[in-house]
Amino acid sequence: MAAAAASSESADAAAAGPSTLSIYKAARRIKRRESTLYNALRSVADDAAFVAEIAALWPALPLVANLRCGLWYLPPRAVAATCYFKSTDGHAGNWAFSTARLNLHLALLAGERGGCIIVDSTRRGKRFPDSMSKTIPIWCCVLNRAIERYRLQTNNKSAAVANKDTEKISESSNWDNSVHLPVWVLETEKNAIEGRIEEWTTQFESCGADIRSLALSLKKPLRPLWISQRTRIWLNEVPELESWDFTPIILVSASASGAVAPQRMTSEFSWHYIPGAGDDEESWARGLTPTLFWKHSYDLLDGGPDLCNQLVADIVEKDRVYRAQRGEYSPQITAKPLKCSSHDGPFSNGDHTSIVQPMDSDPPTVTAMDKQNSSDGHILFWIGTSNLAVASTLQVGDSLAEVDCILNCDSTSNLPLTSSENSYLELPMVGSKDDRFSLMKNLPKAVSFANRNLIAGKKLLICCQNGEDISICVALAIITRLFDCDGFFDHGNSFLKGDVTKLEMRKRLVFVCKYAVNARPSRGNLKQVYGFLCSEKEQFLV
């Protein structure tokens, strides 16, 4: 009887459940029902059509995807480069200019091509992400002021002596160095940002960035422009690039920003539009990547909601097997620096060591990034003349033939062993979010392995799963620990004589990022590198 009464009560509770749901729980349930994989992919494709329309207005401008969300809205063949501007650097009260994410290759690309179009998106409620509203405008202003200062200093030094480069640098007399923010940014916030521009400019100048190359490349100051799906553009009045007295950085927010996401119809299926569907891909993509999506977009969208999940599962599994058997990309593309003269070190900012080729040729970073985002390119980022390269374990493939030894920091994959045990070291590392001391514990072995092979004159590849974070931090530790300030390998003698400072480490990081333009080192991992360097110094002082 008691059991029957209990079952009766539970049945009554289940029956009464839907009617007693709170508004919050009901809204969450509706959102989960609407946020299906098919709805996300259909929304991405719909927004990508808008991006293509904007790109057609200025076909000469290269398309740049802001990682990671922006990649979903551009077919890989259309992506000229990627950049990485974080929205957190533009949050109110938390504004920042990051020297770990300088994106100098983007400024050089804009100078070469007369501007660029950056694509990103954001969730419901905003027309533009904070990365576009504030982070990129801050970046543009800081670079403009640094270039203006450099030109003034160069002109003062060369007032009596005519210099060819000075003539090039002095071409623009009206240089706009003001902060250009969108109209929806409050005046108080704008004033607070303007008050910190000088501080950020000084920080940028002190980090060792190659401002000279920027000054040579950019004939007009950088200036952001904002375009969303609510922007009205009169097609008969679209201005020509040559008519602008600035280098346009056109910021395209791909998604609609309506308060209520509408139900949409196609000839066969109805679907629910999701603003900013490409954001936070780990929560919805089920292993699908932007490259795989665009490769199979017709099949995925034409299959409809019922078949979408199974199609994605099949595509992801086939791609995994393909990569395991053959390697993901082919043929190999290697981004190498320009040749250096015998007296120039890889850290110098002279003509021979700049990552930028002469302005009448294609920048290597753009070519490499274009290949990287295609489905058939191998990438190794060679760090100057240091005999160090960084890459992703998912992309190295046949590139292993280019190196003599491998330092594998990927905790999820094994690379083929080389002929010598001394030429391969596997140190599985994870990010600081998973283990706060993973890098610090493994860096002594990594530096020792690098030192041993660099002494023998071998070319060393450092790789991690994405080639953007852990491998960058390991390369930074090796370069700071084993190379002198002029960029020559000295077994760490200059490191033992000098002081360990965050400014010096920042300069080395800027140097690494000049070559590895996809670098996205996390703050937690950089802290571990600094902690390792400090502990190394303390050991020799005792």
> Does residue 9 form part of some domain?
no
Q: In the structure, what pLDDT confidence band is assigned to residue 212 with cuts at 50, 70 and 90?
A: very high
What is the DSSP track for 330-342? -SEEEE-PPP--T
Cα→Cα distances 504→40, 346, 460, 518, Å = 44, 15, 23, 21
| Total tally of structural domains belonging to the chain | 3
Domain co-membership, 289 together with 245 = no
What is the Cα Rg of the chain in Å?
A: 26
Q: In the structure, what pLDDT confidence band is assigned to residue 267 with cuts at 50, 70 and 90?
A: low
299 lies in which domain range?
A: 283-326
Contacts of 49 (CB under 8 A, 6+ apart): none
Q: What is the mean pLDDT of the chain?
A: 81
Please check the confidence at residue 537 and state whether its pLDDT lies above 60.
yes
pLDDT at site 351: 33
CB contact at 8 A, 383 and 479: yes
CB contact at 8 A, 363 and 357: yes
Spatial separation of the C-alpha atoms in residues 384 and 352, rounded to whole Å = 10
Domain co-membership, 181 together with 311 = no
Domain co-membership, 314 together with 444 = no
Please check the confidence at residue 96 and state whether its pLDDT lies above 50.
yes
Helix (H) or strand (E) holding 270: strand 270-272
> Does residue 436 form part of some domain?
yes
CB contact at 8 A, 273 and 46: yes
pLDDT digits 0-9 by tens, 430-446: 888 888 899 999 999 99
> Does residue 15 form part of some domain?
no
Helix (H, G, I), strand (E, B) or coil at 95: coil
> Does residue 371 form part of some domain?
no
> Does residue 292 form part of some domain?
yes
Domain co-membership, 85 together with 231 = yes
Q: In the structure, what pLDDT confidence band is assigned to residue 220 with cuts at 50, 70 and 90?
A: very high
Domain co-membership, 218 together with 93 = yes
Please check the confidence at residue 1 and state whether its pLDDT lies above 90.
no
Spatial separation of the C-alpha atoms in residues 505 and 486, rounded to whole Å = 14
The pTM score is: 0.80
Domain co-membership, 52 together with 186 = yes
CB contact at 8 A, 475 and 388: yes
Spatial separation of the C-alpha atoms in residues 540 and 542, rounded to whole Å = 6
Domain co-membership, 241 together with 289 = no
What's the token pair of residue 321? 């097997």
> What is the distance of C-alpha 261 from the center of its chain?
29
Q: In the structure, what pLDDT confidence band is assigned to residue 73 with cuts at 50, 70 and 90?
A: very high
Range of lowest pLDDT (255-269, 498-512, 528-542): 255-269
> Does residue 468 form part of some domain?
yes
> Does residue 358 form part of some domain?
no
Domain co-membership, 208 together with 73 = yes
Domain co-membership, 49 together with 132 = yes
User: For residue 275, what is the DSSP state?
Assistant: T
Domain co-membership, 294 together with 238 = no
Domain co-membership, 122 together with 232 = yes
- Any idea what the CATH number is for the domain that residue 428 is in? 3.90.190.10
Domain co-membership, 291 together with 433 = no
> Does residue 366 form part of some domain?
no
